[in-house]
Amino acid sequence: MTQVMDMMRTLQENVAASGSEQERMHEALVASQARNEELNRINEELRKDLQEREERAAFPCHFPRRSWTQWSLQIRWR
């Protein structure tokens, strides 16, 4: 009978330890998900910024902004 009581106590302790371990793992999972969401948001911002920089580099504008009429008048009078 003493052996059965010892086994029951050990099982109860194991169940309690398992429950607290599951709680810690759940908290770690929630924290990890929050970090992942933040990293995904930052990655998306960086991706958009990089894309905008690549688009600007592909079409550099070295001339002042003028209308076509202003450019054509300058060319005609040279």
Residue 71 lies in a domain: no
Residue 23 lies in a domain: yes
Does this model's pTM top 0.85?
A: no
Residue 74 lies in a domain: no
Residue 78 lies in a domain: no
pLDDT at 10: 93
Residue 39 lies in a domain: yes
Residue 51 lies in a domain: yes
Residue 20 lies in a domain: yes
**Residues in the chain with pLDDT values less than 70:** 59-78
Range of the domain at 16: 2-62
C-alpha–C-alpha distance, residues 72 and 54, integer Å: 30
Residue 49 lies in a domain: yes
pLDDT at 40: 95
pLDDT at 1: 86
Kindly tell me the sign of the dihedral angle through the C-alpha atoms of 51, 53, 54, 60. positive
E strand segments, 1-78: none
